A and B are shown apart, each in its own frame.
Chain A
Amino acid sequence: MSDEKKNPKGAAENWEPKIVCFFCNWCTYLAADLAGTSRIKYAPNMRVVRVMCSGRIDPQFVFEAFAKGADGVFIGGCHPGDCHYQEGNYKALRRFHLLKRVLIGMGIEEDRFRLEWISASEADHLKTAVNDMVAKVRALGPLNLEIPNEVSAREVTAR
């Protein structure tokens, strides 16, 4: 455990990845519930937001999570064909692919944004996916989106 918890350079010693999760009410959220009642242990880095459907997840939510300090965003939805509202997870899938290209273009690494189909009974899948994502984000380090104040070129040359 201690080896995989080693933080990358540039990260404070006690830094822990913060992952914002948007879980569908009808599947992944129930899987997380099941994981809890089954006493399955997994990384405690997730902050779960329950949504009624993965199709409800507006790209603005994802941008806001990153802008406000998340190191990763994890979306959990129903398997294809299983959407409670028929189409929502397909919409989520389409948005996910396009949004991922935008995030990569903005310098946010691919491993920081993840979509998984996890049904209500798949608590083990949830555990594996969460642990895997936390390990990958930990390896990447803090997102560090901060925009530094403008240091004028004048000051730079004076140094």
Chain B
Amino acid sequence: MTTNGKPKVAFYWCASCGGCEETVVDLAENILDVVAAVDIVFWPVAMDFKRKDVEAMADGSILACFINGAIRNSEQEEMVEMLRRKSQLVIAYGACSHLGGIPGLANLWDRKSIFQTVFHDGPSTVNPQGTEPQPKLEDHGRHVTLPDFFNTVRALDQVIDVDYYMPGCAPTPKLTLQALQTLLSGKLPPKGTVLSPDTALCKECPRIDTKPDDLAITEFKRPHEILIDEEKCLLAQGIPCMGPATRGGCEALCIKGNMPCSGCFGPPGRVRDYGGKILSALASIVGSRDDAEIVKILDSIPDPIGTFYRYSLPVSMLRRKKMDAVSSEKK
């Protein structure tokens, strides 16, 4: 490890896909400036430092630690608790760390039902002995351990204190670079800031001028069901777009790719339950006053929880499916 006085930065991943790590690489030639300004002291995906190297560091010796991924098991919990002690600033990096993310949708199940599906019922599962992961095993006198798998997925700030949030699945290289520059400048924003503009995505959407004042949807359509007009507001075409309830800053990347916003940046600051807010926005533009017809139109959204809470179930007010409801539905 070098001792050249450059600020130390660490990256860590928990329950995530690796896409956030990819964003750091996507800084492209700018990564050279980053590496010139900081020392990367821990980055399991790219560099060969071990856990014991971090353990050996003094508390608070890392300037900033970027943690991506949700907290799904006991190893992740232990690691982030240690990194919290070693770091002056912790940044929840990416949707999973910020809001629970895609892995957070597993909060519709629990450990038992997930193990049942993955290790027993899966269509491609071959497991005649019915083996399941054990946290402890003794084999020929050797003791082997595995992390504990939790019932409930948590966002990073439900486990440790978090200083800043970097939204997105994944965060854009531009926002990442801005965040790094802000941290290095020493002019720190207030604790708890989400490092992206606090306005709805619609504000920066290139199609905003085609959004009608009075939307009235008579059937929600999924992107594969129609030929999408590349110029027109997606809501006006009946496609559930999460833009009205989602924080901007991504520069409408998905919409520029002719796909609706799926909400990965999470809500703007004053919203407390993202799914409730987008549910409210989409339901109120249903173009009918008839009870049965309203139900029929809303049925064209096949998976409301997966659509409205795609990235934020663990930080929603209800946080997860009721535990006893999960256990009672087992066969």
Contact = CB atoms under 8 A, between A and B. Distances in A.
A93 B291 contact: yes
Interface of A: 55, 58-60, 62-64, 66-67, 80, 90-91, 93-95, 97-99, 101-102, 105-108, 143-148, 150, 152-154, 157
Chain A, interface SS category: helix
Contacts of B74: 150, 152
Contact of B135 (A55, A64, A154): A154
How extensive is the interface on chain B, given as a class? 35 or more
B301 interface: yes
Contacts of A148: 151, 323
Contact of A59 (B134, B280, B294): B280
Interface of B: 74, 108, 111, 134-136, 148-152, 271-273, 275-277, 279-280, 282-284, 286, 289, 291, 294-295, 298, 301, 304-305, 308, 316-326
B152, B282, B320, B325 — most chain A CB neighbours (10 Å): B325
Contacts of B280: 58-60, 95
26 contacts: A59-B276, A60-B271, A60-B272, A60-B277, A62-B276, A63-B273, A64-B317, A66-B317, A91-B283, A94-B284, A95-B279, A97-B295, A101-B298, A105-B304, A106-B305, A106-B318, A106-B320, A107-B321, A108-B325, A145-B322, A150-B74, A150-B150, A152-B135, A153-B135, A154-B135, A154-B148
A97 B150 contact: no
Nearest to A91: B284
A91 B139 CA distance: 62
B289 A66 contact: no
Given A55-B284, A152-B74, A154-B148, 15 more contacts: A58-B277, A59-B277, A59-B280, A60-B280, A66-B317, A102-B275, A102-B308, A105-B321, A106-B318, A145-B318, A145-B322, A147-B319, A152-B148, A154-B135, A154-B136
A153 B148 contact: yes
Given A93-B291, A94-B283, A105-B108, A63 B298 contact: no
Contacts of B320: 106, 147
Contacts of B294: 93-94, 97
A93 B298 CA distance: 11
A66 B279 contact: no
B167 to A, nearest CB: 20
Nearest to B287: A94
Given A63-B276, A102-B305, A105-B108, A150 B318 contact: no
Contacts of B295: 97
